[in-house]
Amino acid sequence: MTQEQPFIEDSFDRARREFFGTVKTTPAPSAFAAEYLKPRNAPLARKVAAPSPRRGWVNSVARSSPHVVSAIDPLQDSRWSGFIANHPRASVFHTPGWLEALRRTYGFKPEAYTTSESTDVLTDAFLFVPIRSWLTGRRIVSLPFSDHCAPLSSSPEAVTSILRHLRTALDRDKLKYVELRLADAEFASQAIRCGFEPARSYYLHRVDLRPSLDNIFRSLDKDSVQRRIRRAEREKLIEKCGRSEELLRGFYKLLVMTRKRHGVPPQPYSWFRNVLDCMGDLAEIRMVCAGKDAAAAAILTLRFNGSVVYKYGGYDEKFKHLGVMPLLLWRAIENAKAKGATEFDLGRSDENDAGLVAFKGKWAKDPSRLVYWRYPARPLSSSAEDWKLTGAQLLFARSPTSVLTAAGRMLYRHIA
């Protein structure tokens, strides 16, 4: 594996899991998750009585003493923007721009469940998207195409009430599953009490931007990162940054090129156009060119609440020896630091991918754990399914670009 390949591979780990689903599910919960499974034999909390239907699959109101759970539309509720702007756990994946991009591209309608009255100030909320798919079934996910989505609450009791409500709705309406994507362990005990179990586990690498820029650079691995950045700087590559249609076309061409090498269809072009349009200055494309028109590599980053997230990237293989990806990531870190961000999020890595975890450790040495929880637990995939998915990847890698992009346009809405 090349020195800059792991960051690209991480993008494709996400894409493979989004597109093909989980292939090699860990047979037993990770040690991190297992420690929260100790109270599993305790009696489950009482189910919420099924309320009268109002809209959607998940009924809007569930009564469970002492909390009443209601659903709000974060794209319409005037309290939402102010609520997430002031909540320390809110991420870019909670923003109206990200949610609107999901709605415009895939037709997903987000719902936030809260114990706050409609006339009160919001004090808690848990964001979900109901997914209707004739291909992959009906389910509720927090949140599609998002690495993590924390419950915005300081009350374990409120979170428990919301999870009980969702579990009851799932059992009643015969949905496939509810999925939570929790970047910390604080609410794990509530998930367990409501019958959720770990489905997948990852490492989440973040670069701490609070030290000086010089100290951040010195903390990076000298050979794998520092040397390659200096090499790229000597090449005098042309750097571009912004949200223009020209940059987007160049970025998408590199993304498609890279995903084709890995046998994974790209997301629709409209997804990236909508992300840029809906998120405004919170989304940015950064590109380096080896000459006036020779785009070498590009990344798309998202910014909110003191954190900058590296979300997507692609590169032209003939320029990878120049260190173009490390340079782009370093420039993004410099820019994030200049704008007052306190962390640079490199995204998730499968806990069993030792090579990727080691490489990211050369940028951020102390990863946190990211656990995806499901109710009911998802069964392990069979070796026959693994072979089918491997065959599909080989087929996509050999398909014309037009076929690959058409597959992405058709299928991504089903695999969230």
Q: Where are the domains of the chain?
A: 5-21+205-367, 45-194
Q: Which residue has the higher pLDDT, 179 or 154?
A: 179
In this model, does residue 325 exceed pLDDT 70?
yes
Distance CA 385, CA 300 (A): 32
Give residue 44's pLDDT.
Answer: 32
Distance CA 261, CA 256 (A): 9
Tens digit of pLDDT for each residue in 239-286? 999 999 999 999 999 999 999 988 889 999 999 999 999 999 999 999
Return the SS3 of 99: helix
Q: Which residue has the higher pLDDT, 269 or 13?
A: 269
Q: Report the CATH architecture of 45-194.
A: 3-Layer(aba) Sandwich (3.40)
Q: Which of 325, 106, 168 is nearest to 232 (CA)?
A: 325
The answer to whether residues 287 and 239 touch, using CB atoms and an 8 Å cutoff, is: yes
In angstroms, what is the C-alpha Rg of the chain? 21
Q: Which of 189, 201, 60, 52 is nearest to 118 (CA)?
A: 60
Give residue 251's pLDDT.
Answer: 97
Domain pair 5-21+205-367 / 45-194, same fold = yes
Give residue 331's pLDDT.
Answer: 97
In this model, does residue 33 exceed pLDDT 80?
no
The percent of residues above 70 in pLDDT, for the chain, comes to 79
C-alpha of 260 from chain center:
21
In this model, does residue 338 exceed pLDDT 60?
yes
The lowest-confidence range among 111-115, 224-228, 400-404 is 400-404
Residue 301 tokens, joined: 């980053």
Give residue 274's pLDDT.
Answer: 98
pLDDT bucket at 204, cuts 50 / 70 / 90: very high
Average the pLDDT over 191-214 and give the result.
93
Distance CA 262, CA 275 (A): 24
In this model, does residue 177 exceed pLDDT 90?
yes
Q: Which residue has the higher pLDDT, 272 or 170?
A: 272
In this model, does residue 3 exceed pLDDT 70?
no
Give residue 193's pLDDT.
Answer: 87
The answer to whether residues 169 and 58 touch, using CB atoms and an 8 Å cutoff, is: yes
Give residue 53's pLDDT.
Answer: 36
Return the SS3 of 313: strand
Distance CA 291, CA 293 (A): 6
The answer to whether residues 310 and 346 touch, using CB atoms and an 8 Å cutoff, is: yes
Burial tier of 119 (Cβ tally within 10 Å: 0-12, 13-18, 19+) = exposed
pLDDT bucket at 66, cuts 50 / 70 / 90: low
Give residue 58's pLDDT.
Answer: 43
The lowest-confidence range among 131-135, 205-209, 328-332, 352-356 is 352-356
Preceding omega of 376 cis (within 30 degrees of 0): yes
Q: What is the dihedral of CA 356, 359, 360, 366, to 10 degrees?
A: 110
Give residue 17's pLDDT.
Answer: 53
Give residue 394's pLDDT.
Answer: 62
Q: Which residue has the higher pLDDT, 227 or 24?
A: 227
Give residue 89's pLDDT.
Answer: 93
Helices marked H in 140-290: 156-173, 188-193, 213-219, 227-234, 245-261, 269-279
Residue 194 tokens, joined: 């409501």
Average the pLDDT over 315-324 and give the result.
94
The lowest-confidence range among 144-148, 164-168, 273-277 is 164-168
Q: Report the CATH architecture of 5-21+205-367.
A: 3-Layer(aba) Sandwich (3.40)
Distance CA 365, CA 368 (A): 10
The percent of residues above 90 in pLDDT, for the chain, comes to 59
Give residue 215's pLDDT.
Answer: 97
Tens digit of pLDDT for each residue in 360-415? 899 998 899 899 999 997 654 444 444 445 556 666 666 778 888 888 888 899 88
Return the SS3 of 189: helix
